[in-house]
């Protein structure tokens, strides 16, 4: 990912942990041969009033405990291991030595009860309110108040602002495979529509298609990666509007390569960035040309055009991620760097000069 969400957005992240603790207390009682738990007395005191009003919760816990009672000792151990592993966030993202059993690894007899509880809890993030706001809206509003306006998984699309429709929440660990993390905001970063509904879908972030364990970025702590276009080659890429684009080489600078590989595999980020560069470059260069004429004037040489690129990058292109600036600035740095190439630098300068010379 390109940047992280603020940890403050986890301030209302209590549903998954609180209900898991209540669930485990019931499982402990059953393991000890005890009776069903007192309701709502077994709920944590600070959330008892809120949760007792959620009328759907008690029957789902009771159904879960009933099914658990019928399991063998080995199956109970397997189930409790899955609960512990799936809720071990965010460590499970980074430590590939940690196993993480999924739904298919736990006894089939209890699947329906598990699914019912997990889907119910996820729905509660939009239903339970604090100070008049739903928990998931508090999470997103906190992100936006900390300046997160753009999807950090692609850097291409803006989030819908607070007050319009809700943005998607992406189950990094899909609810269909990891039901015990269904309502944990650590597993639920906001994402743009494209990332969530066109690319990530139900992919398992913890395992690749061959079943190999992989690591991924923690949405609130990273690692994050910086885009670089070094290695791109001018004039060897796709044709767009009669112009041959650079052959783009997308690189991600960051502390490790592993999480970047998972990010690219799941969100197809490199190919999306290449497509965007191809689609946007001519528009960007035309804007540079009209700015050049306004600022510098007409009748200038190709050398003067090339020498002005750093000024344009520094003074005109927006900072960071607004308006795809991270991509646009890097594309112009690539062009500026390419103009100094001893073999084809002059050709690139002429190419840029042509936009200035013929700008309307
Ligand atoms: Zn996105």
Q: Note the pLDDT tens digit of each residue in 87-128.
A: 999 999 999 999 999 999 999 999 999 999 999 999 999 999
Q: How far is the CA of 197 from the centre of ligand 1 (A)?
A: 10
pLDDT, residue 36, reads 67
Q: How far is the CA of 23 from the centre of ligand 1 (A)?
A: 35
Q: How far is the CA of 10 from the centre of ligand 1 (A)?
A: 20
Band the pLDDT of 290: cuts 50, 70, 90: very high
Q: How far is the CA of 313 from the centre of ligand 1 (A)?
A: 24
Q: How far is the CA of 122 from the centre of ligand 1 (A)?
A: 21
Q: How far is the CA of 75 from the centre of ligand 1 (A)?
A: 39
- Alpha-carbon span 76 to 81, nearest angstrom: 9
Q: How far is the CA of 15 from the centre of ligand 1 (A)?
A: 26
Q: What percent of the chain shows pLDDT beyond 70?
A: 99
Q: How far is the CA of 171 from the centre of ligand 1 (A)?
A: 14
Q: How far is the CA of 168 from the centre of ligand 1 (A)?
A: 10
pLDDT, residue 191, reads 95
Q: How far is the CA of 255 from the centre of ligand 1 (A)?
A: 22
Averaged pLDDT, 229-248: 96
C-alpha distance from residue 270 to each of 88, 153, 200, 261 (Å): 30, 11, 14, 10
Averaged pLDDT, 75-90: 98
Averaged pLDDT, 71-89: 98
List, as ranges, residues with CB under 5 A of the ion ligand 1.
151, 153-154, 192, 195
pLDDT, residue 319, reads 82
Q: How far is the CA of 198 from the centre of ligand 1 (A)?
A: 10
Q: How far is the CA of 346 from the centre of ligand 1 (A)?
A: 37
- Alpha-carbon span 286 to 141, nearest angstrom: 37
CB 333 within 8 A of CB 230: no
Averaged pLDDT, 64-72: 96
Encoding tokens for residue 63? 């159904």
- Alpha-carbon span 82 to 177, nearest angstrom: 11
Q: How far is the CA of 150 from the centre of ligand 1 (A)?
A: 8
Q: How far is the CA of 4 from the centre of ligand 1 (A)?
A: 13
Domain boundaries, the chain: 7-199, 226-357
Band the pLDDT of 8: cuts 50, 70, 90: very high
Residue 166 or 74, more confident: 74
Q: How far is the CA of 195 from the centre of ligand 1 (A)?
A: 4
- Alpha-carbon span 301 to 291, nearest angstrom: 16
pLDDT, residue 168, reads 86
* H or E element, residue 133: strand 133-134
pLDDT, residue 360, reads 58
Q: How far is the CA of 205 from the centre of ligand 1 (A)?
A: 16
Q: How far is the CA of 153 from the centre of ligand 1 (A)?
A: 5
pLDDT, residue 40, reads 83
pLDDT, residue 167, reads 87
How many Cβ atoms sit within 10 Å of the Cβ of residue 19?
25
- If we measure between CA atoms, which residue out of 285, 287, 260 comes closest to residue 273? 260
Choice among 141-150, 166-175, 325-334 with the minimum mean pLDDT: 166-175
pLDDT, residue 46, reads 92
Q: How far is the CA of 6 from the centre of ligand 1 (A)?
A: 17
Q: How far is the CA of 247 from the centre of ligand 1 (A)?
A: 23
pLDDT tens string 52-62: 999 999 999 99
- If we measure between CA atoms, which residue out of 264, 16, 47, 21 comes closest to residue 139? 16
pLDDT, residue 359, reads 75
Q: How far is the CA of 271 from the centre of ligand 1 (A)?
A: 13
Mean pLDDT score of the chain, rounded to an integer? 95
Q: How far is the CA of 324 from the centre of ligand 1 (A)?
A: 12
């Amino acid at each position: 990912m390109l940047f992280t969400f603020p940890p403050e957005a986890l301030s209302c992240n209590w549903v998954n942990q609180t209900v898991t603790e209540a669930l485990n207390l019931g499982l402990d009682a059953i393991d000890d041969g005890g009776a069903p738990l007192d309701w709502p007395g077994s709920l944590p005191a600070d959330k008892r009033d809120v949760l007792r009003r959620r009328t759907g919760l008690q029957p789902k816990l009771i159904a879960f405990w009933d099914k658990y009672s019928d399991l063998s000792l080995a199956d109970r151990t397997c189930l409790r291991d899955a609960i512990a592993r799936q809720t071990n966030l965010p460590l499970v993202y980074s430590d590939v030595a940690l196993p993480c059993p999924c739904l298919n690894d736990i006894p089939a007899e209890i699947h329906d009860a598990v699914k019912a509880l997990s889907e119910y809890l996820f729905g509660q993030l939009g239903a339970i309110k604090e100070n008049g706001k739903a928990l998931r809206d508090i999470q997103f509003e906190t992100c936006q108040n900390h300046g997160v306006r753009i999807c950090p998984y692609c850097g291409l699309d803006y989030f819908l602002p607070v007050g319009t429709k809700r943005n998607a929440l992406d189950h990094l660990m899909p609810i269909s495979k990891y039901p015990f993390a269904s309502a944990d905001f650590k597993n639920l970063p906001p994402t743009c529509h494209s990332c969530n509904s066109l690319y990530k879908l139900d992919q398992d972030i913890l395992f690749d298609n061959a079943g190999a364990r992989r690591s991924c970025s923690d949405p609130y702590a990273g690692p994050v990666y910086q885009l670089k276009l070094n290695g791109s080659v001018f004039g060897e890429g796709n044709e767009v509007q009669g112009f041959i684009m650079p052959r783009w080489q997308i690189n991600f600078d960051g502390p490790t390569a592993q999480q970047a590989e998972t990010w690219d595999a799941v969100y197809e980020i490199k190919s999306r960035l290449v497509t965007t560069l191809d689609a946007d470059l001519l528009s960007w260069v035309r804007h540079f040309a009209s700015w050049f004429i306004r600022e510098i004037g007409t009748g200038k040489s190709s050398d003067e055009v090339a020498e002005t690129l750093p000024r344009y990058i520094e003074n005109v292109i927006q900072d960071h991620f607004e308006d795809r600036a991270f991509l646009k600035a890097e594309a112009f740095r690539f062009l500026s760097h390419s103009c100094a190439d001893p073999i084809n630098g002059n050709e690139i300068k002429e190419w840029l000069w042509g936009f200035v010379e013929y700008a309307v």
